[in-house]
């Protein structure tokens, strides 16, 4: 049997194994193959959550008429900015105004009848019941007049506040029904939000106030910032995910409702982890993995089990009880096995 020496310098080692003497004649010299090590270093960090979502305004309102009728005029169009109490659209009010006039006439008639019965009651010519019935007729007529005036007022749509028309759903001359949506108005003062859904594993890591970064295909290379403002207390029954709302900071560029964005959320909670090149992982199963370390006291390779947190971009994040600075074998680890001999040798001795 032959034992080959192994060199280590600048984080690189040569690892040897016991091989039969006849294998030493092989043109492939396994005893001089280089194996890299990386010192284990811990850091407090968090794993970002990657997701996607749709851009929308924080607050939107559906505006509609109270009554039915043909649309007489439309004063605004989509994308227009409107001010509070600005007239947006009107119905043909001929029918409604006739109802107001009828209600006013009936109210005046009931009022005159009440005044006549009050004089008769003072002369004790009628009973109190007759007077009270007349008063009830006045109250009913007055209520109907208020309803008619209310309907007339809401035969026009006025902006409840400053905002932007993001959708117009009616056309001039169209006969519409009560409460049919005519406009969708966005309150620009309340800003933009991203809506997305997270799995149960991710939602428990997030809390309101966590920062987020958003990227849109419409603006390559540009990033938008925001933070988590709302987390749903229950999962969506259709998707099984938890709805999340991310409010954007004042965006430097023009945005449009419906943009799809890639979202990176950075949770506030941190973990003490170590990062290693992915090739340090020899095997893995059910969230745990095997790595090899070079033991300086016994000159042998030691197998160690670690908890795998995540693996991305050829980077391995683990939790382990190994002390900081432990040399972990990376490149070449898959060619080794536990208890292979590791011996230090000057770089000049490596062929």
pLDDT at 349: 33
Give 36-74 pLDDT, tens digit per residue: 888 988 988 888 899 999 999 999 999 999 889 999 999
pLDDT digits (tens, 9 = 90+) for 102-123: 999 999 999 999 999 999 989 9
Q: What is the DSSP letter of 341?
A: B
Stretches in the chain below the pLDDT threshold 70? 1-34, 342-351
Question: To 10 degrees, what angle do helices 128-153 and 94-122 make?
Answer: 160
Model confidence over 245-286: pLDDT tens digits? 999 998 878 899 999 999 999 998 888 888 888 888 888 888
* pLDDT at residue 59 in the model: 92
Nearest residue to 101 (alpha-carbon basis) of 151, 143, 149, 65: 149
Other beta carbons within 10 Å of 159: 20
pTM, to two decimals: 0.62
């Amino acid at each position: 049997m032959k034992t080959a020496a192994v060199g280590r310098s600048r984080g690189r080692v040569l690892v040897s194994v016991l091989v039969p003497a006849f294998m030493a004649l092989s043109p492939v010299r396994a005893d001089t193959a280089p194996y890299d090590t990386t010192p284990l270093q811990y850091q407090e960090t968090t794993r970002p959550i990657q997701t996607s979502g749709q851009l929308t305004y924080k607050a939107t309102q559906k505006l509609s008429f109270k009554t039915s009728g043909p649309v007489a005029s439309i004063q605004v169009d989509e994308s227009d900015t409107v001010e509070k109490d600005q007239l947006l659209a009107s119905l043909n009010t001929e029918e409604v105004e006739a109802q107001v006039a009828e209600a006013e006439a009936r109210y005046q008639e009931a009022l005159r009848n009440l005044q006549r019965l009050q004089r008769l009651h003072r002369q004790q010519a009628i009973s109190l019941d007759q007077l009270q019935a007349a008063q009830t007729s006045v109250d009913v007529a007055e209520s109907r007049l208020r309803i008619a005036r209310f309907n007339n007022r809401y035969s026009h749509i006025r902006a409840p506040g400053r905002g932007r028309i993001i959708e117009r759903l009616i056309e001039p001359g169209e006969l519409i029904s009560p409460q049919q949506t005519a406009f969708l108005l966005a309150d620009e003062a309340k800003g933009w939000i991203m809506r997305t859904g997270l799995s149960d594993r991710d939602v428990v890591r997030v809390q309101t106030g966590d920062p987020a970064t958003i990227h849109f295909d419409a603006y390559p290379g540009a990033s938008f910032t925001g933070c988590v403002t709302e987390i749903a207390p229950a999962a969506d029954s259709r998707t099984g995910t938890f709805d999340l709302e991310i409010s954007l900071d004042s965006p430097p560029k023009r945005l449009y409702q419906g943009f799809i964005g890639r979202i990176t959320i950075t949770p506030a909670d941190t973990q003490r982890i170590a990062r290693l090149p992915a090739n340090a992982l020899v095997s893995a199963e059910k969230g745990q993995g095997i790595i090899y370390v070079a033991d300086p006291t016994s000159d042998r390779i030691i197998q160690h089990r670690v908890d795998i947190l995540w693996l991305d971009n050829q980077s391995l994040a683990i939790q382990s009880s190994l002390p900081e600075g432990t040399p972990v074998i990376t490149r070449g680890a898959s060619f080794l096995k536990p208890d292979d001999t590791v011996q230090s040798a000057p770089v000049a001795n490596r062929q």
